[in-house]
Amino acid sequence: MDDLHDEIAYLQHVSRKPRLMLNIYMEKGQKIVGCFPPYAPEELVHASGLLPMGLWGGYTELKLAKSYLPPFACPIMQANMEFALNGKYSGLQAVIIPAICDTLRCMTQNWRFGVPRIPMIPIVYPQNRTSAASIDYLISEYEHALVMLSTITGKMMTEQALCRTIEIYNEHNAVMREFSALAAKHLDIITPTVRHGIMKSAFFMDKSDHTASVKKINAGLKALPEHKFSGKRVILAGISSEPKELLEILEENGIAVVGDDLAQESRQYRTDTPLSGGGALKRLALQWKSRTCCSLIHELGKPRGTYLSELCRERQVDGVINCLMKFCDPEEYDQPWLEADLRQAGYPCLTIEVDPLNKSFEQLRTRIQAFAEML
């Protein structure tokens, strides 16, 4: 039991102190590449002998970033730009920016001119993922990224290294999926804040180290009897459930998170890279082709609502809270489809606007309290 709580406390600490983790790895001589969310190809960084570290912004007062990004840009990217301009990301060898939304497309050029001391590696994913040409194109994008990464390491990544990295990341995906399922059975220990911290900490640690920590947590949870939770059970959808005050408000109102469709959390771990089907780069490209049910990925028919409805049935939820990131056009476009599918399946849905740069939560508290009373 002590080991369980120790591991949980450690990962909570990691999720709150990404700069500290950056410093620790740098002191060990590790070269680090910043990865912009949500789908930077971390595997290429890892297989090149570098450490990928997620850049998820955070609360800050915007000053310098206003010269580069409009006020209606994604708040995560605004914070990332502010942190970069004021030196918070010093020590990074490079950053990878996946250009999969309007703000991220702008970030590639804004970063190039605003933060020239940290090289920028762009990745442009094909939106038409059904054609064979999209696989060839994405392989060429990965090859270009590898050439740029090789300027940091002095050598090219090997096929063997990427194959091993794919195995490491697939194992991590499986362990995180198992954690999500176990967490829903131990809501007395895995509160919304704790669950989020364990998920988020993965972006700031070596994947093998994080896998080992979560395995210990899973083993500890398996050894305990299932907790009979008397409050309301919800699934969170969206990009992120930050700021942390949102999760604290859920806890205040007796609401537990039993699953999610968040880009910062479970969406990262749903899709493994196939172990067969070609060389390692091709298989990594096939992983992108296999991703589904995400607002940032073009799909005909919008199956995300159906996926969420099935997850609701599996986790026996009372409702869904859609955490709509402020100024996120892809999420806003998905919202009507998502709510309609959930209503048809019989699950109440509350859509709230989330903004990591905001520090006023009274309106949010009132809406969540009313939703909890309605469930």
Give the tens place of pLDDT for each residue, 255-286: 999 999 999 999 999 999 999 999 999 999 99
Q: Residue 103: its pLDDT value, please?
A: 92
**Tokens at 205, concatenated:** 């640690």
Secondary element (H or E) of residue 96: strand 94-98
Q: Which residue, among 18, 37, 17, 148, has the nearest Cα to 93 in the 3D structure?
A: 148
> Counting beta carbons within 10 angstroms of the beta carbon of residue 165, is it exposed (0 to 12), middle (13 to 18) or buried (19 or more)?
buried
**Cα–Cα distance, 59 to 360 (Å, whole number):** 12
Secondary element (H or E) of residue 33: strand 32-35
> Counting beta carbons within 10 angstroms of the beta carbon of residue 176, is it exposed (0 to 12), middle (13 to 18) or buried (19 or more)?
buried
Q: Residue 359: its pLDDT value, please?
A: 86
CB 236 within 8 A of CB 321: yes
Q: Residue 212: its pLDDT value, please?
A: 97
**Cα–Cα distance, 17 to 183 (Å, whole number):** 23
Q: Residue 302: its pLDDT value, please?
A: 84
Say which residue the tokens 């991220």 belong to: 104
- Which DSSP category does 153 fall into? H
Burial 185-216 (b: 16+ CB within 10 A, else e): bbbebbbbbbbbbbbbbbbbbbbeebbebbbb
Residue 135, pLDDT > 90, answer yes
Query: How far is Cα of residue 139 from the mean position of the Cα atoms in its chain?
Result: 23
Dihedrals phi, psi of 187, to nearest 5 degrees: -75, -10
Provide the residue type at 214 as one letter.
V
**Strand bridging mode 120-123 / 51-54:** unpaired
Domain-wise residue ranges, the chain: 18-157
Q: Residue 171: its pLDDT value, please?
A: 98
Q: Residue 130: its pLDDT value, please?
A: 81
**Cα–Cα distance, 97 to 125 (Å, whole number):** 11
**Tokens at 374, concatenated:** 């309605």
**Cα–Cα distance, 203 to 31 (Å, whole number):** 15
Residue 15, pLDDT > 90, answer yes
**Tokens at 219, concatenated:** 């083993």
**Cα–Cα distance, 13 to 242 (Å, whole number):** 16
Instruction: Say which range, 158-162, 217-221, 294-298, 304-308, has the weakest mean pLDDT.
Output: 294-298
Q: Residue 192: its pLDDT value, please?
A: 98
Distances (CA, A) of 274 to 143, 157, 301: 19, 19, 25
Q: Which CATH number fits domain 18-157: 3.10.129.10, 3.30.70.1380, 3.40.50.11890, 3.40.50.1400?
A: 3.40.50.11890
Q: Residue 1: its pLDDT value, please?
A: 67
Mean pLDDT comparison of 154-158, 293-297, 302-306, highest-scoring range: 154-158
Q: Residue 363: its pLDDT value, please?
A: 93
Q: Detail the DSSP E strand segments found in 210-368.
A: 232-238, 255-262, 319-325, 349-354
